[in-house]
Amino acid sequence: MRINSTVLLTLILLSMMLGAGSVSAFWGFTIGSSALKGVSPPDGRPNSKLPSPKTGYPQDGGVNFLKEEEILKIVKARVQGKAKTTKARKLLDEEDIENNKEAETQNTEQTTPEKPQKGFPIATESEGVTLSVLSSRYSGGDLILKVRMQNKGDDSVRFLYSFLDVTDDRGRTLSASTQGLPSELTANGPTHDGTINIPTPLLDNVKKISLALTDYPAQKLRLEVSNIPVEK
């Protein structure tokens, strides 16, 4: 009988596949065995970690159990430590309360209203807006005028303090700067305090000065304070 070439080719392919599979399996087994050399399985004996009946501790490095007396000592020490900490915190809180009381007393003494300076305050009013000069003093090379503004009118008012006119008793214009004064006074709003600073060299032989301020941009009101004493 003649063997069909197709059958022969199929048998050859199957033989090659079986051979390749066998070689691969043997090779994998060899590599796995060499990789696991020196690795031992875990000890699965159930009695290996049980405590010894004589010592009460594990035989092979298990968990150590504290005795009841040791536990009581630890709890007592912690309770005493918490008590001391609570007492210390209470003392610190009492000290903080005393310190706060002293600070409040000092602040009350410092915020006591100053006695009015002689000749002050000098106030003016226009369209419900008031401008008061509360005091004047020399400090750091400047004359410092403490002023207060308030709007009791029904409309808010805006100011641009570069338009503030300061003149001396000879009619000369003096340069001045402002600090703390608001750019806008709201209707029926609170009082606002600030300062007007004038360089001292400009006030040689000057006894009194005057202030003039108008709102911006409407210019519906004009605040004028005259004869403010500035003698040293």
Report pLDDT digits (tens) over 91-120.
656 655 665 555 555 544 444 455 678 889
Q: Give residue 110's pLDDT.
A: 44
Which pTM was predicted?
0.51
pLDDT at 83 (0 to 100): 60
User: Closest Cα partner for 176 from 206, 145, 130?
Assistant: 145
Q: What is the pLDDT of residue 65?
A: 64
Cis peptide before 190 (omega within 30 of 0): no
> Are 223 and 124 contacting, i.e. CB atoms less than 8 angstroms apart?
yes
pLDDT at 144 over 90: yes
Q: How far apart are CA 106 and CA 103, in angstroms?
A: 5
Amino acid (one-letter) located at 80: Q
Looking at the chain, the whole-number percentage of residues with pLDDT higher than 70 is: 69
What's the pLDDT at 152? 93
Structure token digits, residue 148? 């207060």
Model confidence at 3, in pLDDT bands (50, 70, 90)? low
**pLDDT value for 98:** 61
Q: Is the pLDDT of residue 140 over 60?
A: yes
**Of 148, 156, 138, 154, residue with least CA distance to 201:** 138
200 against 108, higher pLDDT: 200
When the pLDDT of each residue in the chain is averaged and rounded to a whole number, the result is 80
Give the mean pLDDT of 199-206: 92
Better-scored residue on pLDDT, 38 or 202: 202
Amino acid 111: pLDDT: 42
CB distance 124 to 222 below 8 Å: no
Dist. CA 151–CA 127, nearest whole Å: 9
Q: How far apart are CA 131 and CA 224, in angstroms?
A: 8
- pLDDT tens-place string over residues 9-59: 888 888 899 888 888 888 888 887 877 776 666 655 555 444 454 444 444
| pLDDT of residue 197 exceeding 60 | yes
Q: Which two tokens stand for residue 124?
A: 């003016």
